[in-house]
Structure 1
């Protein structure tokens, strides 16, 4: 008699609202290829635009937008309860959550899932947010109630262990996957036309949310040296501001005389526009001050783009300097300028490094392999 498939509930309400749809799709597809039957519970901002080897339930409705917090919170709780009920009806044995912070809501989610008789798994996406004050106390309670914790790299595991030493025995390191299923490269000419770019020289791309920790000011400070060597260079800044003030960066651009060398697209960039921005770029720059793992890095590698990134552990666990990416000394604009100039000055080396990065993203960060490791971890808590 054939063994019944392991069914898991992937409960992730951010989905298409905040870019988690890429991750959700990759994880669920990988789990399906590993013999697990995942059911994704997410928000109604998620677009089902392709055939999926798993079922998606859009039960978190109206939780994002301009409505009142109380109303959206009640809708969130309703979506969660409906998800748990549906999961139990389907015979799910595992509830897999994705947390970026801990509040009383996350504690309630874990508690309710356990009351429904489900084993609980948490992927910890941002260890830093759990390290202070009430968040730390809540994190201990939330993570203490989980059967399995997943982090994406060694630096995150070490940070988690420093906050909650008891979590170490229940934690697994399973990396973030690539974006190969979403890569749709276009010609440079088409990309330039689509995003309204006019550049006589190389193009640098800063992609994603604009916030202080992302180090955009470091890149702007480095740019004058690069422009001296490549006067026609264009920096494209694409993303919306999050708890920051772009006027500070705008003033720095003006002060450095870089207005003609910067294209600032300061807004939400929809998913369907990503291929044009990445296809236009020669180098994707990640000048972050602090990061535990970066989806932008893996997206850039998946597009076959060379990257120049801060030499933070979360970056160097993925790329090897001069082999499949370039690194610079974190928070040092002069060193960033030097590495960008070096990379742009040797087109053969730039192409070789970009190709090696694509191979690493494809082979080393495949969702099929990640699905296998996650499925193995699931079975470990069910034995």
Structure 2
């Protein structure tokens, strides 16, 4: 009989960016391994005053072939109880929670505690972050509440694994690298991608992709664009593709101060999944200038499209981007970022890096990921459930 899996976290109709995409792709991966899978997601993920973007919901069609149940209201305890009771009665073999923010601790921790009452389901959490990027009072208490409800954990970076072990040193955990985002379609030519985006394909393009928040370091990349090393690359432009999740004014002021208007392509609305491949295929080099990080799904989209990367030496980014093999690992400083960009365009390494990526990315398969999740789940004996 097929084993049953319930994934609890963002999914359609939420447009939760990488996390919703990850959960949906993971559900397909479990199905490919012969499991029955359902995703339980949010009716309300964030109250309006806490949500920094323009809309929490997507207008894209629901993913085909997935069962998605919309149940959770993050601020309504009645919905927590109903969700926990629903999943408890289903008696899935495995429940996989996504945990990324202390704000979600009360809702997800309560749901998990209710599920545990069936004394059957193994409860694992993929902990994207244990210590949040933007700290607030009460974070540790809320995180401990959630972590205490789980039987084991998956981390996507070793830095998060270290944070986790400070909270839960005795519970089993496993580090599994973020699998490829291979669900954005096949690669296309640069000319086709530029045509789709209305760009001139005779230019070289850098890409900064994803929600724009302070910790992601777009300001560092803008300063790098004004560095003399990059300024001498006259045929180069930077594409900024992603919605602002904070005040845009400081970035606009920096752009004007550095006189970068003619060197930038700003596409700062939410990027739907159907358009993602255009941005990556139009670019020569993907830059992740983060000031601090755990891991980034942008890396795995770049891998899928065989795009070399510049990443900063923070969190788990360098774990997935071996320096000099598939890209560059540099300090989170404008001059260091500029030097890597300059080297990429003035050396003969570009083709070599892309060739290495096509080999290196084979280790990031979804099959390997879900099988490792099952190994962890199966190591949790019934007496511990």
Q: Give TM-score, length-normalised by structure 2.
A: 0.85
Query: How far apart, in 1, do the equivalents of 2:209 and 2:356 lie?
Result: 21
The within-5 A match list for 1:132-143 is 133-143=137-147
* Equivalent residue for 2:130, pick from 127, 130, 133: 127
Counterparts of residues 119-268 of structure 1 (less than 5 Å)? 119-129=122-132, 133-162=137-166, 164=167, 166-198=168-200, 200-224=202-226, 225-242=228-245, 244-268=246-270
1:253-286 CA-to-partner distances (Å, cap 9, x unmatched) read 2222211111111111111110111111010100
Deviation at 1:9, TM superposition (A): 1.1
Residues 165-189 of structure 1 deviation map (CA, whole Å, 9 limit, x = unaligned)? x345322212221112333322222
2:51 corresponding residue in structure 1 = none
- Of 205-214 and 91-100, deviating more is 91-100
C-alpha distance 358-18 of structure 1, shift in aligned 2 (>3 A): farther
Matched, 1:7 2:4: yes
Q: 5+ unaligned residues in a row in structure 1: which ranges?
A: 64-71
Residue of structure 2 equivalent to 1:336? 337
Equivalent residues of 2:230, 2:338 under 8 A apart:
no
Greater shift after overlay, 248-257 or 16-25? 16-25
1:200: how far off? 4.1
How many residues end up aligned between the 2 structures?
A: 361
Give the Cα separation in 1 of the matches to 2:259 and 2:345.
Answer: 21
TM-score (norm 1): 0.86
Corresponding residue SS for 2:349: helix
Is the contact between residue 85 and residue 115 of structure 2 (CA under 8 Å) also seen in structure 1?
Answer: no
Deviation at 1:316, TM superposition (A): 1.4
Whole-angstrom CA distance in 1 between matches of 2:41 and 2:127: 17
- In 1, the alpha carbon distance for the partners of 2:137 and 2:91 equals 38
Number of the residue aligned with 2:54: none
More helix by share: 1
Segment of structure 1 superposing worse, 102-111 or 148-157: 102-111
* Distance in 1, Cα, partners of 2:201 & 2:27: 40
In 2, Cα distance between the equivalents of 1:35 and 1:382? 22
Shift of 1:23: 0.9
> For residues 64-83 of structure 1, what are the structure 2 equivalents within 5 Å?
73-74=75-76, 78=79, 83=83
Q: For residue 28 of structure 1, report the CA deviation from its aligned partner.
A: 2.2
Q: How does 1:94-113 map to 2 (within 5 A)?
A: 94-102=94-102, 103-113=105-115
Answer yes or no: is the 8 Å Cα contact 1:211–1:241 preserved in 2: yes
SS in 1 for 2:265: strand
